[in-house]
Amino acid sequence: MANLYSQFTYDNALLIRPTGAAITSTETGSTILTVGSGLTEGYLVVDVTAIDVTTGDEAYSLMLEGSPDAAFGTAGNIRVVAELRIGGATFTTPNGAADGVGRFAIPFRNERNGTLYPYLRLYTLIAGASPSLTFSAFLAKDS
């Protein structure tokens, strides 16, 4: 059954990570989206199709990063504007319940502490003995 509370209009121009092979190590996204010089608010929509949480120590942190420069060339200028933590590790689920497959919608805005970040990319930090994550992600407006 579809989740009635996470339905969004899909725009291929806002695809920040296509579905591909499972990732098993940290990944810096190669897609950089330009959202313009003004304030942008919306959702990072993550569709998880496979996730390994069998040993309970797997941790996945998906961070939407913003930068004032298109090349993300200066590390000190990169800021996290939204984050999703999933998996089975205690830092992601303090109550001990592991996440499964499904859709996750994380609100974001390209502003942090008064600074606007016109360029966005996805950074995925992975930890654990044998982590594996298969997902896609896109940006969407509030419907």
pLDDT digits (tens, 9 = 90+) for 3-24: 656 789 999 999 999 998 999 9
The pLDDT value recorded for residue 4 is 54
Q: pTM for this one?
A: 0.91
Model confidence over 34-93: pLDDT tens digits?
999 999 999 999 999 999 988 888 889 999 999 999 999 998 999 999 999 998 776 655
DSSP the chain: ---TTS-----GGGEEE---SPB-S-EE-S--EE--SS--EEEEEEEEEEE--SSS--EEEEEEEEESSTT---GGG-EEEEEEEEESSTTT-TTSPPP-SEEEEEEEESEETTEE--EEEEEEEEESSS--EEEEEEEE---
